[in-house]
Structure 1
C-alpha cells in the first residue's frame, strides 16, 4: 500500500531486479470491480463449505500435486520476477506442499464440532457443542519477498477451512500469483480463489469487501490495514516486521552458530521478516564467532538464478534502506568486515555485510533493515544479551545458541517475542503445529498453530441442546417467586462449592 492506483497504468511491465530484463506483464484490477468479484466468491463459497472437510481435502490434494509437478516452472518465473538466487527460490514450493499436506491430514478433526463439558453439575442437563463455521470471504494481502509462499501459505489454510479467498499480491511481484491461480483452475477446483492486482486502492477495496483480512508486511502498513478494517469491524491477522535477535552464549557450538547466523541473515538477501537482524555474542567466544562468520560469508556466491547463493534486492528503494543503515553505522564507529557498498554493474545487488563494534545508537541495531546486514555486538553477560534483545519495539522471533539445551530454553522464555529457535534460525516457519505470530509492533494474531491455524478463519457458533426436558424453564416468568428463589439459592450453593474449597 505504498503506491496509489492512479500511479499505475492499466497494464504494467515487471522487470527482473537482477538484470533489468522484462519478466512479464500484468493487468491491474479496477477497484470498482472488486465488489462484483467478492459477490461471486461468496456465492461459490456456499457450495465449497457444503463439500465438507473430506471433499475440500481432495481438491487441496490435487493442488498440492500440481504444485509439485510445476515446481520448476514456478521457480523459473519467481527468479525472473524477484532476482532471487536458485537457492532462495527453491524454498517456497516445498514449504507450501508441506503446509497443504499437514492440513489435508488434520483438517477434518480440527474443524469437527467440539463438545464441551458442563461447567457445573447442575448444567449437566445440557449438551454443549462449539461449531467452526468458515468466514465466507478471506482477503489476503501478500508481500513481495516470498511471492509464492506468502501468497498461498495463508490461502491454503483459509480454503481448507471452507472460506473463499480474494488474494492481492504485491504490485512489485504480481506474476507468480497469476501462475498459482492458473494451477488452481487446472485442478478443476471451484471458483473460490480469485486474484486482484494493484496497489493501495485495490488493497482498500479488498479490505472493505472481506470478512477477515490476513496481511503480511511492514508495521506501518499493517497499522493502516487495521485502521481500514476497523471501519467495518472486520477482524485482521497481521504478521509484520521484526528486528530478530540471535544470542550466542559462552558454551555455544561456535561453528554451528556462525553457519546459522550467515544463513539466517543473508537468506533471500536479508529480505525475510524472521531473518537474523542483530547478534549478541558473549565476549569469551566473540572473536572466534566473528572469524567464523567472515569465513562463511566469503564463500557465498552472489548472483541471480542457478549456481548462486545470494540474489538481488527487490528494488532501489529497499537497497537504499540498507545503504542508509550501513552509512549510519560507519559514521558512528562501526567497522565493516565484508561488503559495505553496493555491487557495481547492473542489478540491485548489495553484498553480505558484516558489521562489528556496533551498539544501540545505530540504526542497524534498532530499525528493521530488511536487507543483507549482520551487525554483531559483544556482551559481557547473558543478562545483558537478554536486556538488549528485548530493547526493541519489535517482537517477532529470536534464536539462542548453547550446547546446554535447558539453559537455552530458560533464556528463550525471557525473550519478548512470538517464537524462539534453539540452536537454529527461521525453522519455526516449518512448524505448522505451532503459532507464528509477533508481539509488540510485530503484529497480532498468528498463522499456523495446529487446529488454530484453520479455526482463525472460522466463526465460533455455540449450540446448546437439552439432554432432557427435566429442569428446563426453571427461571421462566411463569414460575412462582418461591420456586425461583429456591432455584437461585440452590444454584448459588452448588456454584460456591469449588471456590469455598479453594479459598481455604
Structure 2
C-alpha cells in the first residue's frame, strides 16, 4: 500500500502511505534525473575541503551527528513506523545500530586512514621508503533498500563520509521519508554539504550510477546484477550486498530453548524482511520434535500489528505479501504442513501471519528462494554432514547460524559453510560486530558493507608513495650506465632475489 512513483512526472510530489493502515505518512518530491549531474558536481566540489579537513576533524563532525541521531531517535522511529508499518520493537533497532557504527569509526578512523608504512620486500630494496596512502573517492553513490530505511542508508554513508568522500544517497522509492529527516539532521548538526539525496526510482538510480565514483548497492540479486552492468560502462567500482537464504543448523547437543528463541526472532524480526534473517532451519533428528514444539510455542505468542504492543509488523506492500503467499502455497501443495499461520487472514494492511512449516525439502521454493517474509521452514536431517550439504545447496551465501553447546564443534561446522558470516549460538549478531566485515558470497554479493578498517578503505583509492632513504644505488638501471654495469646490476639483483626461494625450496 506504499505509493508507487509516477515515472512520467518525476518532479511531482508523491504520497507515501503506511502499509499497515493505508493512511498518508507523508509526501516527497522526486528528483528529476536530469538534475543528478548537477547535484553530483556540487558534492564533488565540496568533497575537496572535506578531505582536506583530515580524519580527526571529520570524526568531530560525525560525533555531532551521532548526538543528533540519539536526541531525535523518537522522531525517527515514529516516522519509521508510519512509513513502513513496522512494529515498535523492530523500529527501535535501527538508530542504535547506527550509533554503534558511528562510535566505532569515530574512535578508529584516524588510525585506519593514516598512511601505512610497508617494509622492504628484499634487503637490497631497503634503500626505499614505501607508504600506502588511502585517498577517498570523490562521490560515493549509495542505493539503499526499503527494509531498514534508516540503518541501511546510513551504515554505508557513515563509512564513506568518514573516509572523506561525499555521498549521494538514493533511498528506496518505497521509503523516502526517513531519508529526508536524516539529511536534515546532517545539516542541523553543522556538517558541510557533502551529503545529498536523489529521490526516485529506476531512472534516478541510473543517473546516480552514471555520476558517482563508487557505488554501494543493497537489494535483490537481479537488481544488483543490473547495477554492476551499468557501473561497468564507466568502470565504476561497486560493492553489492544482495539477497540471502540464510540457513540455521541445530546440532543434537544444542540448547534447544535458546535455539528456538533465536530461530523465531531471526525469522520473524521485521516481518522476515531482513537480508540476514533465518530463512531455513536444519535440525538433527534426535532433537527435532523438541525444537519444533518450542518454536511453535514461541510463534503462537507473537502479536501481529504495527507500532507499540506488537511483535511482527506489516510487510512493505502487497507485492511482498504475494511472494510469501506463493512460497507457502507451493510448500503446502508439495506436502509441507503449516503448524502456525499458513494463509492470510482478513483485515486491513499488508500483514502475513508468522508461519512455521515442517515436512519441507529442497523441491519447495520456501527452502530455496528468498522469501523475505515471516516464514520459518524446518527440515529434519539425519547427520551433521547432511545439514552442511543442504545449507550449502544454495546460490546464496550471506550468513548462517550454528547451535551447539560445544562451541569448538560448532566452529568446525561453521568453517564448512559457504557464506560471509556465521553466528554461533546466536543469529544476526554479526551486524553488531563492527570490527568484522559484513558481506556475502556467491550471488549474495561482492565486497563488504562495513566493519573494521576495510569498511573505510573500500571507499578509497590506494596510492603508493615510494621515497628514497639515500641516493646510494640510485639510477643503477638507467640507460646512461654502461652495458657491463647494467649486466652486473641485473646479475646481483637476481642472486639476491633468489636467496629466499632457494632457502624455502630446501
Quickly name the TM-score band, shorter chain normalised. Answer: over 0.9
SS at match of 2:498: helix
SS at match of 1:471: coil
Q: Would you say the 8 A contact 2:20–2:314 is kept in 1?
A: yes
SS at match of 2:187: helix
Cα offset, 1:8, TM superposition: 5.4
1:386 equivalent in alignment to 2:382: no
Counterpart in 2 of 1:302?
304
Give aligned pairs, total. 503
Cα offset, 1:449, TM superposition: 2.9
Instruction: Specify which of 69, 86, 105 is matched with residue 84 of structure 1.
Output: 86
SS at match of 2:361: coil
Counterpart in 2 of 1:269?
271
Q: What's the RMSD between the two structures over aligned residues?
A: 0.9
Counterpart in 2 of 1:180?
182
Instruction: Specify which of 247, 251, 254 is matched with residue 252 of structure 1.
Output: 254
Alignment of 1:123-272 (within 5 A): 123-272=125-274
Q: Would you say the 8 A contact 2:10–2:31 is kept in 1?
A: no
Q: Which deviations, in whole Å up to 9, do the C-alpha atoms of 1:390-447 show, x marking residues without a partner?
A: 0000000000000000000000000000000000000001111111111000000001
Counterpart in 1 of 2:14?
12
Instruction: Specify which of 65, 68, 83 is matched with residue 63 of structure 1.
Output: 65
| Unmatched runs of 5 consecutive residues or more in structure 1 | none
SS at match of 1:139: strand
SS at match of 1:359: coil
Cα offset, 1:256, TM superposition: 0.2
Alignment CA distance shift 1:179-1:13 (3 Å): same
**Cα separation, 1, equivalents of 2:79 and 2:102:** 22
**Cα separation, 2, equivalents of 1:150 and 1:449:** 14
Counterpart in 2 of 1:337?
339
Cα offset, 1:344, TM superposition: 1.2
**Cα separation, 1, equivalents of 2:119 and 2:6:** 52
Cα offset, 1:9, TM superposition: 6.5
Alignment of 1:417-432 (within 5 A): 417-432=419-434
**Cα separation, 2, equivalents of 1:198 and 1:3:** 7
Counterpart in 2 of 1:287?
289
**Cα separation, 2, equivalents of 1:313 and 1:8:** 26
Alignment of 1:370-409 (within 5 A): 370-409=372-411
**Cα separation, 1, equivalents of 2:350 and 2:267:** 18
Q: Which deviations, in whole Å up to 9, do the C-alpha atoms of 1:46-88 show, x marking residues without a partner?
A: 0000100111011000000000000000000000000000000
Stretch of structure 1 that moved more, 2-11 or 452-461: 2-11
Alignment CA distance shift 1:350-1:404 (3 Å): same
1:488 equivalent in alignment to 2:501: no
Q: What is the TM-score with the length of structure 2 in the denominator?
A: 0.99
Instruction: Specify which of 453, 456, 460 is matched with residue 454 of structure 1.
Output: 456
Cα offset, 1:341, TM superposition: 1.3
**Cα separation, 1, equivalents of 2:189 and 2:149:** 21
Return structure 1 stretches of 4+ with deviation > 4 angstroms. Answer: none
**Cα separation, 2, equivalents of 1:309 and 1:370:** 17
Q: Would you say the 8 A contact 2:31–2:198 is kept in 1?
A: yes
Q: Would you say the 8 A contact 2:283–2:381 is kept in 1?
A: yes
Cα offset, 1:301, TM superposition: 1.0
Alignment CA distance shift 1:7-1:221 (3 Å): farther
Q: Would you say the 8 A contact 1:219–1:240 is kept in 2?
A: yes
Q: What is the TM-score with the length of structure 1 in the denominator?
A: 0.99
Stretch of structure 1 that moved more, 342-351 or 148-157: 342-351
**Cα separation, 1, equivalents of 2:419 and 2:5:** 31
Counterpart in 1 of 2:76?
74
SS at match of 2:353: coil
**Cα separation, 2, equivalents of 1:19 and 1:8:** 26
Counterpart in 1 of 2:371?
369
Q: Which deviations, in whole Å up to 9, do the C-alpha atoms of 1:145-187 show, x marking residues without a partner?
A: 0000000000011000000000000000000000000000101
Cα offset, 1:448, TM superposition: 1.8
Cα offset, 1:32, TM superposition: 0.2
**Cα separation, 2, equivalents of 1:457 and 1:6:** 34
Cα offset, 1:295, TM superposition: 0.3
Instruction: Specify which of 102, 112, 117 is matched with residue 104 of structure 2.
Output: 102
Alignment of 1:461-476 (within 5 A): 461-476=463-478
**Cα separation, 2, equivalents of 1:310 and 1:366:** 23
